[in-house]
Amino acid sequence: MYIILVGGGKVGFHLARALLSEGHEVLVIERDRRKCVSINDELGSVVLQGDGCEAAILAEAGASRADLVIAVTGGDEDNLVVCQLAKGKFHTPRTIARINNPKNESIFKKLGIDDTISSTQVIMERIQAEIPSHPLLHLASLGSYGLELVNLSVAEGAAAAGHKLRDISLPPQTVVSLIIGADGPRVPTGDTLIQIGDEVIAVTRVESEDALRAQFASQH
């Protein structure tokens, strides 16, 4: 595959090295001349110096024959523009953007970026998984709908604890799909009682996360 990487920082450099070792043709676009020199020294001539947000540079990089464009600069706005230009102007079949602010994930998908990777989100997920009393854990992003699968632990003093599912006010487009209690997993109905210690698996919108967390986290 021919892969264009925009951004030659730490992520871009290590990603370029990994993709090269897998046998892909890789070109890194980087603005900073010193970074360009050090990448070229380490990886061979794989760098084009310039601003990947400029159509002329993308054209020079051969974006119209690229199979994949990956934008991994430190700026969400730059990564968005790179991917939108690649898709809209050069018809790149697939674009991937790194996102620094997790709140941008749904807008990027809405604007046609095929895949997004939020480093903040990935690190948060790992940390949350290591902390036993996590109120809300992300399990997966569900396609381009701006939905996600989350795991909530019903804490002591939570607003939802001791109530039937139908009496709990859930944010819009939120579905409680599974409840794992002391007696194992069960598919909930409106009559299902939410108890302290239950694990609740739900589908929700990214922006509804805080409202959902508020129902199941401790109120203290």
**147 Cβ contact list (under 8 Å, min separation 6):** 141, 173, 203, 204, 205, 206
Which one of residues 11, 107, 196, 211 is an interface residue with another protein (CB under 8 A)? 107
Angstrom distances, CA of residue 134 to CA of 131, 155, 190, 204: 6, 9, 25, 17
Distance (Å, whole) CA 136 – CA 181: 16
Backbone angles phi, psi at 206, to 5 degrees: -55, -45
Query: Binding to another protein by residue 114, rule CB under 8 A?
Result: no
**Cβ neighbours for 155, distance < 8 A, ≥ 6 positions apart:** 133, 135, 161, 196, 216, 217, 218
88 binds another protein (CB under 8 A): yes
What does the per-residue mask of binding to another protein show for 23-62, with x meaning CB under 8 A? ------------------------------xxxx------
> By CB neighbour count within 10 A (0-12 exposed, 13-18 middle, 19+ buried), where does 133 fall?
exposed
CA angle (174, 180, 185) in 5-degree steps = 105
Among 47, 70, 76, 92, binds another protein (CB under 8 A): 76
> Using the rule CB under 8 A, is 84 a contact of another protein?
yes
The residue within the footprint of another protein, chosen from 9, 50, 74, 75 (CB under 8 A), is: 75
At closest approach, how far in Å is the CB of 15 from another protein? 21
81 binds another protein (CB under 8 A): yes
Give Rg (Cα) of the chain. 22
Does residue 172 bind another protein (CB under 8 A)? no
CA angle 110, 216, 130 (to 5 degrees): 80
For residue 12, the minimal CB distance to another protein (Å) is: 17
Instruction: Tell me the site size for another protein, rule CB under 8 A.
Output: 22
Kindly indicate which of the ranges 82-90, 114-122, 126-134, 184-192 contains the residues binding another protein, using the contact rule CB under 8 A.
82-90
Residue closer to another protein by CB (options 5, 194) is: 5
Contact with another protein (CB under 8 A) among 78, 148, 198, 209: 78
Residue 195 phi, psi dihedral angles, 5° rounding: -120, 155
Which span sits near another protein by CB under 8 A: 33-41, 80-88, 170-178, 188-196?
Answer: 80-88
Rule CB under 8 A: is residue 118 a binding residue for another protein? no
Distance CA 88, CA 104 (A): 20
Positions that interact with another protein (CB under 8 A): 53-56, 75-78, 80-81, 84-85, 88-89, 101, 103-104, 106-107, 110-111, 207
